[in-house]
Chain A
Amino acid sequence: MSALPRASELGLIACTDCGLVCRNVPGDTRLDGDGVGDDMACPRCGTTLHRRKPNSYMRTWALLIAAFILYIPANVLPIMRTASLNDVDDNTIISGVVELWRAGSPNLAVIVFTASIVVPVLKFLALGTLLVSSQRGSGWARVQRAKLYRLVELIGYWSMLDVFVVALLTALVRFSVLSLVEPLPGVIFFGLTVVLTMLASMSFDPRLIWDGKDTDD
């Protein structure tokens, strides 16, 4: 046993909902370790206990792939239409960033670029890397991978920024024939992408990073 004992070695299990440390008998058939068929409930909050989040790999892959599929129309399709007397202008996420840059707010353009493009791409790359490396039981850069996961969790929901911008402008810019803003389908796909990537990062169990061979670092 290492100097830093893990719950699974001690026959302990942490409740994912309330954090209570619960005892379970190692090898208990009700808690077979992969989360399938477990039926022991946390004595404090009643949530079913799992050593690891159930079907973590499969669920995370499924949600991540679904998010990626929706991310394509989210970027290709325009998210917003600006119509004025003599001009109709459809904006995609990228062209919105470019426009903001040209309008003289490079700082804000960088923020929107980060929230709408860097963060989603980072999430796909980061979760993909975490899934592949953990499934192979890799011992490579475990601390850094753990930090990467926490970063994804922390910044993930900021991607909703562009969705709120479109909603606010749609409600505000209603000057009959003079000027109108309408949402276009891209914004729906983008909103769903953000929700799916958030669900994907929640389904991933960071404890899996440490489960491979050589748990001792």
Chain B
Amino acid sequence: MGMSSPEALLICEHCDTVYRRRTLARGDVARCARCEAELERHHALSVNAMLALILTAMIVFVQANMWPIVTLGLSGQQSSTTLWGMILAMWREQAQVVSVLVAATLFFFPLLKMLLLGWLLWFARAGRRAPGFVRLMVILHYLGPWTMSEVFVLGALVAIVKAHTYFDVTPDPGIYAYAALTLLITVFAGVDLRRLWDDVPAGAA
């Protein structure tokens, strides 16, 4: 059929329509003409910028997990908690399933995602594929929807409002760190991580 190389083609993953890839200008988003799904968007962030964001996110993540999230006061008594305080409390209270869910979606998966990205981007910066590139890219793909830090920020807000009726509520630095983390996640939400396959070609390993 005289088709160009497979890399020059693009298949809509939502409806299987085949397109010839076009070079996108800043701000451009390519949409599927059949199902209107997003095909590809211009890479607004350079590898360096992404690495800087990931390093920032890691620092904020450590803070979000170490610092207390919120403090409650009741007749002179005080009570506060961190993320791990939540995980342990749910385990103790016979809700181990929930404990594991919280630990996975708010701690282990986000941590793994940041470490993997940091590792891959560190090597991509030098135009090389990191050791384990192929396997790690596949893991990253599957981690996608299972990190939920931004949902937790909204949950913390709801918990604060609920607790406010009965207790004195003081927000602690942890909640601000989580808010900052959510901002960073939002910036990253528009990035298609699959671009790393093209950014760092094989053979450069």
Contacts and interface: CB of A to CB of B under 8 A. Distances in A.
A73 B16 CA distance: 39
A116 to B, nearest CB: 10
Contact of A5 (B17, B72, B99): B17
Nearest to B150: A158
Interface in A142-165: 142-143, 146-147, 149-150, 153, 156-158, 160-165
Interface string B5-31: 011011101111110000000000000
Given A165-B159, A169-B159, A146 B79 contact: no
Nearest to B35: A146
Contact of A146 (B14, B87, B89, B146): B14
Interface string B112-123: 000000000000
What 10 A-B pairs are tightest by C-beta distance, nearest first? Answer: A164-B155, A14-B11, A171-B89, A171-B81, A146-B35, A21-B6, A183-B95, A171-B86, A168-B159, A21-B9
Interface of A: 4-8, 10, 12, 14, 16-23, 44-47, 84, 96, 99-100, 103, 105, 108, 111-112, 115, 142-143, 146-147, 149-150, 153, 156-158, 160-175, 178-179, 182-183, 187-188, 191-192, 195, 198, 202, 206-207, 209-210, 217
Interface of B: 1, 3, 6-7, 9-11, 13-18, 33-37, 69-70, 72, 74-75, 77, 79-81, 85-90, 93-95, 97-99, 101-102, 105-106, 134, 137-138, 141, 145-146, 148, 151-152, 154-159, 161-167, 194, 197, 202
